[in-house]
Amino acid sequence: MAIGIMTSGGDCAGMNPAIKQFVDYCFDKDEKPYLIYDGLEGLIDDLIEPASFEDVAGIMHEGGTIIRSSRSKRFFEYDYRKQAFENLQKHGIDKIVILGGDGSFRALNQFHKDFGINFVGIPATIDNDIFGTDYCLGVDTALNIIRQATDAVRDTSSSFKRACVIETMGRDCGYLALVSAITCGAEICIIPELDYDLDLIGQRLKKEIENGRKYVVCIVAEGCNHDKCTNTNQLVKWLEEDIGIETRATILGHVQRGGNPTVFDRLMASRFVTYAVDKLLLDEICTNVLVYKDSKFEFISIEYVNSKKYKIDEELLDLARRLVN
C-alpha cells in the first residue's frame, strides 16, 4: 500500500520542506508517495496524484504549501468521508501524514474510526497553540518575520520620536506576541495570558520619556481584539492621549504565514516527516500525533492532544511580566 501526505488548515512556512522530505524519504524506503491536494477537500474530490522527484524539486525555500490547503465542513459528514475513503482505495493508499492543527487531527481520527486509515499528525501552525508540544512547524519563520518587521518599524519610530503598536497573529494564543516582545526589546506586551495595568505602564513610560526615551514599541496579540483586553486601536488612542506620544499602528496580518522558511523550520520539517513515515511503516495501527517536547520527539494520542488547552510556559510569561506594569 502507498502513503499520502496532505496539509490542512492554516498554511505555514516549513510545509514545503516537509513535503520534499516526505517524497525523497519514501522513495529511499521503496514506498510509493502520493500528494493529496487541497487538504480534506482534496480527499473528497480525489485531488490525489503520485509524487515524483520533479514535483518537489526546488521547493525547500518556498513558503506556504505547494499542495495547497483548505478547511472543510463536508468532511465532517459521513457520506463525504466515505467518498474520500473510496478515493484512497482507488490509489492504494492506507496511510497518511497530515500537517495541520488539532482540528485536522480530529478529522483524521474520525476517518480512522470509520475506515481504518492510519495517520500521523505533525503540528504545523504559526500560532504554536497545540497542547502536548513545545514547538509547531512554522512558528520559527513567523517569529523571524515579526522580528524583521518590528526592527524596521522601530527604525522609523525612533526617527520621529513616535510610539508604534504592532499587532501579531495567533488567534487566542499570545505566544507570537510574547516571544516577539521579549526578543525585540518592546516596552509593552499585551496578550490574553497576562494581566496588565495601563496606569502602571503609563507611569513607567512617562518617567522613561522624562529621562530621555524617544520612542515606544508595543506588541499586542490579535486575540486581544475579541477578548477583554485593550485592543490595538485602543492602545494607539491611549498612547497618544494619556502618554502624549504620537503613535502609529502596524497590523502584520498574513505576511506572518508566508516567507522563506528558516533553517530551523526546514530541519524540523525533515525530522518530523522522517519519524512519521517510519512510524506508519512500523505500526499496524497508528493514529498518533508526533510532538516535540522537552527537546525530544514523541508520539502521543489525539485524545491527549484534545484533553487540555495549550498554555504558554510560565518561564516565558515571567520574562514578559515587567512589560505589563
The string of DSSP codes covering 163-182 is EEEEEE--TT--HHHHHHHH
Assess whether 127 carries a catalytic annotation: yes
The active-site residue, picked from 127, 129, 140, 265, is 127
Rounded Cα distance, 316 and 313, in Å: 5
> Grid coordinates 495567533 are at which residue?
170
DSSP secondary structure code for residue 232 in this structure: H
Q: Is 322 exposed, middle or buried (0-12, 13-18, 19+ CB in 10 A)?
A: exposed
CA of residue 105 relative to chain centroid, distance: 14
Rounded Cα distance, 218 and 42, in Å: 41
Among candidate residues 48, 60, 50, 47, the one with its CA nearest the CA of residue 21: 60
Indicate which residues carry an active-site annotation.
Answer: 127
